[in-house]
Amino acid sequence: MTKPIVNFLDPLSIPEENLKYSIVCSKYQNTWVFVRHRMRETWEMPAGHIEANETALQAARRELYEETGAKEFSLKLIVDYSCDWKGEINYGRIFFANITYLAELPKSEIAEIRFFKDLPEDLTYPDIQNLVFAEVNCRLNKNIEVNTI
């Protein structure tokens, strides 16, 4: 099986029109937030496609609410990334959210949210999410160019 190649790039280094995904690594009450899609038994970070006429930041806010019910949160831009998987390269932007208020989970493709002290074992995209999680933790711990937006 071909593993994806993930490269982390400077924040805002990829033009907005080239971005396809927003990922939001999130914490609530000092635990990591992961979601489970209705069609899967594995865990993933809140994330999704950037829709037409939507910025990566707008997509991050929308996806975070749709997938977790987060109503109050701060967002920090972490890093841009590229992912080469099966010969296709896609670009995205990674954010960190500190959630302070969770409302009821909206009706969506998400079946449940769960809180973890660390990265869960059963990940939907383990060869990507483990790298994203490590990069976010590294940058948060070192305060590397992390800007609240």
pLDDT in tens, 80-98: 999 998 889 999 999 999 9
- pLDDT given at position 149: 57
- CATH classification at residue 45: 3.90.79.10
The model's pTM is: 0.92
Average the pLDDT over 132-138 and give the result. Answer: 94
- pLDDT given at position 22: 98
How far is Cα of residue 131 from the mean position of the Cα atoms in its chain? 12
pLDDT in tens, 56-76: 999 999 999 999 999 999 999
Q: Which residues form the domain of 9?
A: 5-148
Confidence label for 130 from pLDDT (cuts 50, 70 and 90) = very high
Q: Which helix (H) or strand (E) holds 60?
A: helix 56-68
Question: How many structural domains comprise the chain?
Answer: 1
**Which carries the bigger pLDDT value, residue 1 or residue 148?**
1
Q: Which region, left, alpha or beta, applies to residue 143 given φ > 0 means left and ψ of -120 to 50 means alpha?
A: left
